[in-house]
Structure 1
Amino acid sequence: MCVQISFKTIILNKNFTLIAHQCPSYQHFQSGKCFDCKPGSGSCALMGYHSDISPGLENEISPQVRLQGNIGNKFFTTTGREFPFCHRLYRINLELANPPTAENWVQGFLKASLHSSAGVIHLDLTPSGDMKLEHGSSYSMVLSHPADLGGNIKKVELNWEYDMNVLEPRTICLFWCNDHLYVKSIGVDELELPGRGKRDTQFNSRLCARNKKDYADISNRGKGVFVDICEYNASPEKIS
């Protein structure tokens, strides 16, 4: 079982519930392709002190027999770089619009502030550097934060900064290109860990731009605001 984690985090905190997701690679995990945690599916497992009560494993079976089913599988998770190491996992889904004025693609940096009744957290959506974004496409990423928002996301503020790269002439935007980012909606998924006698719960929030358009036009170094009003902005056939 392959786990991307420093085990000092487990030693420091016995109450640390560390969940890992089964995934073919860390890149797949980071891009949000392995975010489910359904009991009995083997799609996730607890690490450290709580590994003998992993979701979907029946209590009457011995821990040694239960854990053998995960041997040879790859599980990935992430923690904080400093105390507190224990982090919640959030999957951010970006749906980009493609109006006539948009460039086919832009590249730059994204940061988001998630607002809920439990508080506000700030996430860097491009921690590894600039990101190429094609208008009309969708993107997912998994990020971590020590705070638990309880799935009640009411507002997201998205900050966009365009990146001009002299090594890539198409990104040099002076007079002849559009450095705006057009975002149709933002989805936020937060997983509530399944436990004994409890079904899995995955909180899904979809937020849309607070204007008469069906997308937010975010200028370079600007900010877009998204709220949970998608059902009011969309026609009935667009609502899933």
Structure 2
Amino acid sequence: MKVSPILAVSLVTTLVRFSSAASIPTWRTSEAVNWEQSKSRKETKWCDDVLGCLVLNDDWYWAGRPFNVLPDPRSEINTRFLLHTREDNGENKDTFITADQATIDASTFDPSKPIKFIIHGFIDTGFSNWLMDMTRSLLNYGDYNVIRVDWGGGSLPMYYSAAANSRVVGLEVAYLVNFFIDIYGVDPANIHLLGHSLGSHASGYAGEKITGLGRITGLDPAGPYFTNAPSFIRIDNTDAIFVDIIHTDASSILSLGYGTEQAMGNVDFYPNSGHDQPGCSPIAIAIELITDLIDGIRDLVACSHQRAIFLFTDSLKEPCPYLARECIDYASFEMGRCATCGDDNSQCARMGIRADEYTHKDRVNVKMYLDTDGVPPYCYFHYQVVVDTAYPRNAEQWVKGNLRLWLYGDNGKFIEDVKLTKEHERFDHGQPKHFMMKSHTDLSRVFRLEVKWTYDASLLEPGSYCWLFFCNKSLYLQSIKISPMDYYPEENRLDHETTLCNAGKVTEIKSRHTKVLISDSVCVYTP
């Protein structure tokens, strides 16, 4: 569900931005900013004595960016940095820091520890609830310096103005990071910028000014004004040693989103196709509006856009691996066609905090897919299921119906009554058929499988229906292979893969009947 920009701005500005007194920005008298008109009619400059200059010229004008303005004065954007560490002893306080040694020395900042910057986007502030939650989760996960970036003075409407202001935020972040490097000897490889929406592009602008920056995570980078833009306008893989992107509200020809479908990092993750996310339907949002007005309004405006934030935060809390697969497209992934990580493990990566464990950081724009739930915990375990049918002489060439599975793992866990197929699923006897199943339960290695077949042809396809008494409605199986897809590396996945059958014999399942298959060394799988 998408809301008009005017309504979105009104709702969020009124009910989200001013939901906390701490979120109201401090406005100061505008300081002197040098504006220079160049010889080119369109080229202008924004300059600051500390941060330097930003140029707006013909390179910034293109079809996807109809309005271009220079940023607001630095004092109005009012970028501020709030430090949190484990040494704060859990105190819920805001420690403001600047590029000033006395201020930093008086704080709990430790230059020997990794540094995480969290940068919000359009309309948000550094005091929005999600930044606080992510900060706490990061500190529970690791011993970091976590710095919340507040640029609430520049993130308000209009959008084209906020997009311009994000360039200044990038300069501010880069200035502080380079101060850490120069004064405290901080290793830039230990610095990680996490930006949501416009904050993703602000992170990219910062990365351009920081030599050797370790990592940037783009949380659903803003699409309007940035999709298909030149790389210097948007976040891209050259802005850090490793850039990972999570797309949750991608805009494409067929859908309108606040994010982008364009791959912009080393690895780009597309949970649930990267478009409309589960749990973001109008009905689900209506329920949330009743139970939590502020978060309900936020979801009404940008539920899928916000989901990237929650998925990353969930990866800090949830032991589920969030392992994604490279695939030609999401449809192929959903068909169970992309189970392997490849011999070199280059076709798998973990989405979220552990994305930087990816072993092939020299690759660019690698598209990875996975599915998530619509409510926490979001992470699913994925299973490839390959149904290898047999074709005995008495079988029909093909039948239509559905399969339901009961699966039992060697770790004592089980998954009951899973509908594997869609309605009127066609099985061609003698041919394997791939599926992808998901669950919150990790079965380790499946050793027992109960399979129920229900013949259910489509009346809209008369040729598929058994009108005569002697028509054979049975499904014939040679075996079913179950591959838990979330075991990594590839050797580990293969160790948990199992093929189940009936002592190597062809198994006939009559309509509305159930048969038991077990893991057996005599099973033979023929792809």
TM tier, smaller:
0.7 to 0.9
Change (3 A) 1:88 1:42: same
Report the counterpart of residue 461 of structure 2 in structure 1: 168
2:488 and 2:479 map into 1 onto residues whose CA distance is: 28
Q: 1:219 aligns with which of 499, 504, 510?
A: 510
Change (3 A) 1:82 1:224: farther
Amino acid at match of 1:226: L
Identity level (%): 24
Q: Which moved more, 1:27-36 or 1:159-168?
A: 27-36
Change (3 A) 1:136 1:15: same
Report the counterpart of residue 86 of structure 1 in structure 2: 379
1:25 and 1:192 map into 2 onto residues whose CA distance is: 19
**Does the 8 A contact of 2:409 with 2:443 survive in 1?**
yes
SS of equivalent residue, structure 2 residue 270: coil
Amino acid at match of 1:103: E
Report the counterpart of residue 347 of structure 2 in structure 1: 43
- Normalised by the size of structure 1, how large is the TM-score? 0.80
Report the counterpart of residue 3 of structure 1 in structure 2: 270
Q: 1:139 aligns with which of 421, 433, 436?
A: 433
SS of equivalent residue, structure 1 residue 14: helix
SS of equivalent residue, structure 1 residue 24: coil
2:334 and 2:391 map into 1 onto residues whose CA distance is: 25
2:485 and 2:470 map into 1 onto residues whose CA distance is: 44
- Normalised by the size of structure 2, how large is the TM-score? 0.38
Q: Report whether the alignment pairs 1:185 with 2:479.
A: yes
Cα deviation, residue 72, structure 1: 2.1
Report the counterpart of residue 36 of structure 2 in structure 1: none
After superposition, residues 51-130 of structure 1 pair within 5 angstroms as 51-54=355-358, 56-57=359-360, 66=361, 69=363, 71-117=364-410, 118-122=412-416, 123-126=418-421, 128-130=422-424
Amino acid at match of 1:149: L
The alignment's C-alpha RMSD in Å is: 2.6
**Does the 8 A contact of 2:382 with 2:437 survive in 1?**
yes
Q: Which moved more, 1:36-45 or 1:175-184?
A: 36-45
Cα deviation, residue 13, structure 1: 4.6
- In structure 2, the gaps of 5 or more residues are 1-267, 273-306
2:375 and 2:401 map into 1 onto residues whose CA distance is: 27
2:437 and 2:338 map into 1 onto residues whose CA distance is: 13
Amino acid at match of 2:399: V
Q: Which has the higher strand share?
A: 1
Change (3 A) 1:102 1:191: same
1:167 and 1:176 map into 2 onto residues whose CA distance is: 21
Partner deviation per Cα, 1:97-141 (whole Å, 9 max, x = no partner): 111111100011111111123221133211x43211000110111
1:114 and 1:144 map into 2 onto residues whose CA distance is: 12
Structure with the larger RCO, 1 or 2 (CA within 8 Å, 6+ apart): 1
Count matched residues: 218
Change (3 A) 1:133 1:179: same
**Does the 8 A contact of 2:458 with 2:464 survive in 1?**
yes
SS of equivalent residue, structure 2 residue 449: strand
- In structure 1, the gaps of 5 or more residues are 58-65
Change (3 A) 1:124 1:23: same
Q: Which moved more, 1:15-24 or 1:4-13?
A: 4-13
1:39 and 1:209 map into 2 onto residues whose CA distance is: 31
